[in-house]
Chains A and B, each alone.
Chain A
Amino acid sequence: MGTTTVELFGLARLRTGVRRVELPPGTLGQVLQELQRRLPALAGWCVQDGRLAPGFIVSVNRQYFTQDPQVELAPGDVVLLISADPGG
């Protein structure tokens, strides 16, 4: 079975030292839960119990942004875990 790729940016990358994780597909909530299990340094401030912490969103396949844990992710999907505020 294929995997869903989660890419980390900003503090999530700096605190874990990880850029990319391959995870079993499922809902966004399930993927985040597994992400937290593998990278406990993200717990609380970034992901918590299958949800994104406030201030974070994900881009799915660079097509749309969401925080919804019910969103279904398929094998091959690429999820970018990023800040919710794009201001520069």
Chain B
Amino acid sequence: MPYGYHGRWLHVQLQPLQATEQQLPEEVLRRFLGGVGLGTWLLLHLEAWRHEALTPQAPLAFVFSPLVGSPLTTSAKFAVVSRSPLTGRINDSLSSSRFALAGKRTGYDALVVTGQAPELSVLVLDSGGVRLLPAGDLAGLSCSATQARLQQRLGPEFAVAVIGPAGEAQVPFATISHEGRHAGRGGAGAVLGAKRLKAVAVHGDRHVRWAHPEQMAALAQELAARSLGPETAKYRQLGTLANVSVFNRLEVLPARNFQESSLPGAERLSVEQLRQDELPHERESCWACTIGCEHRYQPPGSTGSVRLEYESVYALGAMCGVEDPQAVLRAAQACDEAGLDTISTGATLAFAMECVQRGWLDEPWLRFGSAEALHRAIHLLVTGHGVGKLLALGSRRMARQLGPQALAIAPQVKGLELPGYDLRRLPAAALGLAVNSRGADHNRSSTYEVDFATDAPQGDEQLVRQAIAREDQAAVMDSLILCKFLRGVFRDFYREAARMLWVATGWNLSAAALRTTARRIVTARRLFNILCGWQPQEDELPPRVFQPAASAANPSAHLDRRRFERLRRLYYHQRGWTSEGWVPLEQLQQLGLDVVASALQPE
């Protein structure tokens, strides 16, 4: 067994219930690490592209990493990897905490579920093996209520990942929730729901060995100290919500379905205002994290508190034109309880509001700026009543039903709704979201960092090089898995990542070898999409970002279409792909992806 890993994964088929242990060759672990990388390898290995996301045969993988269980800060994370019901392409969401630790202690580096349970069930994995518990009594329960019931039923030593009503209804942007955190984007919750699993519960006591435990402890201490430096101060002191007032002033806060790049009342939603109003709040962190970026706010009259992130405020607030922080808090709470991705929910509702505004959708109550409409729409979306059925499709599929004019204003790439970065002024972010395998996702891409950098790129060639560097670094961080908010503390990321892998696994990897690993993971994710049926026109942005925002102070502030096309061409070129974005067979061979290259050959 290699250090840091168990060297095997567990394949659980649900009907008839059967668990098969599979070996993970060290070569695979070296090449794909864990998390997003290993998850992609598993999907390729299982030929997951052959199955639509919500069919029983589609694999859903919970993937751990070599650093899980180590004292390295922010390392208690897991990835949920599958085909996305929203995009039809790869989806890899990350979440944190005890499920990662307990999941790895089951003795496997990944747990892959296929099939469909005969009835709504909880899948339990512990030292006694796997079993299904009937979960009819949990049907319709919120994420937190499900979690509480299961902890009571199974005991506190179990860690459980659950879905809410949205996952049960297979809303394609439903999340998998664990202790209030969510594997949020792309609809992993719907995939679990399609398997008739209300939850997965894990418990184990199999620990991995570390190659260099003393150096591991020293490195963990050093990293913990650095994690408390100025690079993470924003997250510790204010959380991601600090972006609201800044992005609004920079005119990169998308509002009213990207019709605007700022919102006049956005200051009301800012962390500065919430603090000034002395709204009760507390700070929390994921397990094994020294940063603690989670700032929870308590809505008046409520006993519980709500984690409020920038992205939720962008989507449920600015995008829907809602400026009342209490209303946004309640909407975020409703999404958390139902198990809905707040970004896709808010962006889809904003899209629907604009369709109403334009007379394409006859739901006059669904207006921008109406808190009541926001809450009612979320309720309908979860229950599937009335227009909720349409809203629950997500913006792209909804637009297809409303007509081509609606598709032009749907805020999505590859079907995944856009995050809170107005791409008109952010060319690197625009490129990153267009070419990203997962769709409009800033986490796997991270290219927005280039737009905010003080060493602005000299020309487009350099911009693309820097964008690729961020995307590559994100691929390794998401595979190790470490929190992105730690990235600022690294001075020489690949060298430091190689050291972390050395203390955990004993591997002597060079920084250059790890950079190749990053390229392999990015390319493998694209390869998976190609096998799913990806076409070049999918690496595209909504037309709206090529036009100025309605009331922009500077009307020339929009992305030039020809420049975007040039950036995309340069990106493909620098990646070594064809001018349309296909991956040449030789590159697959060079990266050791030829195990699946045969699948590309005509039969």
Contact = CB atoms under 8 A, between A and B. Distances in A.
Contact of B250 (A67, A80, A84): A80
Interface stretch (B27-35, B228-236, B566-574): B228-236
B249 A83 contact: no
B337 to A, nearest CB: 22
Contact of A88 (B237, B275, B276, B309): B309
Interface in B239-282: 240, 242-243, 245-246, 249-251, 271-272, 275-276
A88 B310 CA distance: 6
Interface in A26-77: 45, 53-57, 59, 62, 64-68
A65 to B, nearest CB: 5
Given A9-B242, A85-B234, A14 B275 contact: yes
Interface residues of B, number: 41
A51 B448 CA distance: 25
A85 B231 contact: yes
Contacts of A83: 233-234, 242, 246
A67 B454 contact: yes
B272 A7 contact: no
A14 B270 CA distance: 12
A84 B272 contact: no
Which of A10, A62, A65, A88 has the largest number of chain B CB atoms within 10 A? A88
B189 interface: no
Contact of A86 (B243, B251, B314): B243
B249 to A, nearest CB: 6
B490 interface: no
B360 interface: no
A82 B238 CA distance: 13
Interface in B212-231: 229-231
B238 A11 contact: yes
Given A57-B454, A64-B456, A65-B452, A11 B231 contact: no
B245 A9 contact: yes
Give chain B's interface secondary structure class.
Answer: helix
B488 A85 contact: yes
Interface string B408-446: 000000000001110000000000000000000010000
Nearest to A56: B230
Contact of B452 (A7, A45, A86): A86
A88 B488 contact: no
Contacts of B250: 59, 62, 80
Given A83-B242, A88-B243, A65 B272 contact: no
A87 B233 contact: no
B311 interface: yes
Contacts of A11: 233, 237-238
Nearest to B554: A62
B376 interface: no
Contact of B240 (A56, A80, A87): A87
Contact of B442 (A7, A65, A88): A88
A10 B454 contact: no
Interface of B: 229-235, 237-238, 240, 242-243, 245-246, 249-251, 271-272, 275-276, 309-311, 314, 419-421, 442, 448-449, 451-454, 456, 484-485, 487-488, 554
Given A9-B242, A64-B456, 7 more contacts: A11-B238, A65-B453, A67-B454, A84-B454, A86-B448, A86-B449, A87-B449
* 5 closest A-B pairs by CB: A55-B230, A88-B310, A83-B234, A86-B452, A54-B230
17 contacts: A9-B272, A10-B234, A10-B246, A10-B272, A11-B238, A62-B250, A65-B452, A83-B246, A85-B231, A85-B488, A86-B449, A87-B449, A87-B485, A88-B240, A88-B309, A88-B419, A88-B421
Interface of A: 7, 9-11, 13-14, 45, 53-57, 59, 62, 64-68, 80, 82-88
